[in-house]
Structure 1
Amino acid sequence: MIRISNLDVVYGAGKTRNHVVKGVGFEVGRGQTLGIVGESGCGKSTVLRSLAGIEQGWTGSIELDGKAIGKIRSRNELKCAQMVFQDPYGSLHPRHRIGTALAEPLRSMGHGDGWSAVQKALRQVGLPESFANRFPHELSGGQRQRVAIARALILSPPILLLDEPTSALDVSVQAEILNLLADKRDEHGLTYVLVSHDLAVIAHMCDRVLIMKDGAFVDELTKADLESGVTHADYSRELFEASFL
């Protein structure tokens, strides 16, 4: 479903040059969940943004659903991979009602005014239909993230890109959101790429994990590796120990 090869992202030039992503590559099969773990600033979110079409300053090759994707994408190519961001309050317009936020993707893709799909989208993530008339500040953090997930799903994408989807939430709410994402994946056969610095979150969701450091992958772990505590690089061991202390 996803194939990336020799992905590079460089910002600036000369003394200000910053090589953020350094020739990374991976594949994700249909219905699988790949995790990318690493410290803040290691480049993992930039990989997601490149996949989503937000970051256009990349080189290399990206294929989604068997088709090569360029830096400028068509509407259908943009619909293929939708993103759920880290901060559910920052990713929702504070002056737009929830119904407007959910209808916007459909309107922007030329599917009418989008209102007919709003109530179903809310039900799909376990929220009352009446929430369509509320503003983001009237919802809890977990409810806002459910709205963000509904907004990503409303275009029926085969791929969801999840950028630290629970890190801004209370611990008590994190499991609810992860279980919701797992249910939607199983229900619709979705393919996920999940970025996190938390190996406990990754272990709950992912079939395999890539460990990222300074813009490159330094290790790959299977679900069995995570469950048994097996790592293949010193940096992975440090992350594992820090996460499960």
Structure 2
Amino acid sequence: MINVQKLSVSFGRGTFAKQVVKDVSFSAARGETLGIVGESGCGKSTVLRSLAGLDRHWTGEINLAGTDVDKNRTKEQMLLTQMVFQDPYSSIHPRHRIRRILAEPIRAMDRGKGWDRVAAALEQVGLPAAFADRFPHQLSGGQRQRVAIARALMLEPEIILLDEPTSALDVSVQAEVLNLLADLKDARRLTYVLVSHDLGVIAHMCDRVLVMKGGVFVDELTKDDLYQGRTHDDYSRMLFEASAL
């Protein structure tokens, strides 16, 4: 579903240029949850934004669902992926009702009005259809993130990109959102790329994990590696020891 070759991302020009992702290659199979873990600033969210089409500073090759995508994407290429962001309050419009927030992707892609799909979208993420008339500030953090997940699914993408999807939530609701994501993945056979600094979340959700440091991948771990605490790099070992996994 995902095949990335020699992806590099730089910001700035000339002597002020800073390369934040350095010639990385990776892939993910259909139905797999691929994790990317590393400390803040290592480049993991930049990789996600390049996959999503939100960042156009990349070079290399990105193939999604068998389609080579460009820096300037067509609407058809945009339909391949959707993204769930870290903060559910800042990623959805605070002055729009939930109904409009969910219908907007349908309208933006010229696929109809979208109003008739709002109730079902809310119900699939465990929210009452009546929430369609509420504003984001009338929902809890967990409920807002469920709305963000529902919005990501409106266009029926095959790939969902998750950028720290539970880090802004209370611990009490993090597990609910993670379990929802797991159920949706199984029901729709989705492919996830999950970025997190929380190895507990990574171990719970991911089939395979790439460890990132300074813009490059320094280790690759299987689910069994995660549970056994088995690493192949000193930096990975340090992350495990710090997380007490």
Deviation of 1:182 (Å) = 0.2
Q: Which residue in the other structure is 1:6 paired with?
A: 6
Q: Within 2, Cα distance between the matches of 1:242 and 1:105?
A: 40
1:77-106, Cα deviation, whole Å (9 max, x unpaired): 101100000000000111000110000000
Match of 2:187? Answer: 187
SS at match of 1:111: coil
* 1:65-80 to 2 correspondences below 5 Å: 65-80=65-80
Q: Aligned equivalents of 1:181 and 1:174: distance in 2? A: 11
Residue 58 of structure 2 corresponds to 58
Write the mapping of 1:33-52 to structure 2, written as runs, cut at 5 A: 33-52=33-52
Summarize deviations over 1:117-148 as a string: whole Å, max 9, x none: 00000000000001100000100000000000
Within 2, Cα distance between the matches of 1:18 and 1:140? 38
SS of 1:113's equivalent in the other structure is coil
Is the aligned partner of 1:16 residue 2:19?
no
Partner of 1:147: 147
Code of the residue aligned with 2:177 in structure 1: it is I
Matches within 5 A, 1:23-172: 23-172=23-172
The question of whether the paired residues in 2 share the 8 Å contact of 1:212 and 1:218 is answered with yes
Q: Deviations over 1:41-97 (max 9, x none)?
A: 110000000000000110000000111111111111101100000000000111000
Larger CA deviation: 202-211 vs 69-78: 69-78
- With structure 1 as the length reference, what TM-score do the two structures score? 0.99
Query: 1:15 Cα shift?
Result: 3.5
RMSD, aligned α-carbons: 0.8
Q: Do structure 1's residue 244 and structure 2's residue 244 form an aligned pair?
A: yes
Aligned residue for 2:79, secondary structure, equals helix
Distance 1:16 1:71 in 2: 22
Show the 5 A alignment for 1:153-232. Answer: 153-232=153-232
In structure 1, how many angstroms separate the alpha carbons of the residues matched to 2:223 and 2:46?
24
1:31–1:192 CA contact under 8 A, matched in 2: yes
Cα distance in 1 for partners of 2:23, 2:195 equals 18
Are the equivalent residues in 2 in contact too, given 1:200–1:244 (CA < 8 A)? no
Q: Would you say how many aligned residue pairs link Structure 1 and Structure 2? A: 245
| 1:22 counterpart SS class | strand
Instruction: List runs of 5+ in structure 1 lacking aligned partners.
Output: none
What percentage of residue pairs aligned between the two structures are identical?
Answer: 68
Aligned equivalents of 1:14, 1:154: Cα separation in 2: 41
Distance 2:123 2:244 in 1: 35
Structure 1 outlier segments of 4+, above 6 Å? none
Give the unaligned 5+ runs of structure 2: none
Equivalent-residue separation in structure 2 for 1:15 and 1:204 (angstroms) = 42
Q: Deviations over 1:159-208 (max 9, x none)?
A: 00000000000011100000000000000000000000011100000000
**Cα drift, residue 14 of structure 1:** 3.3
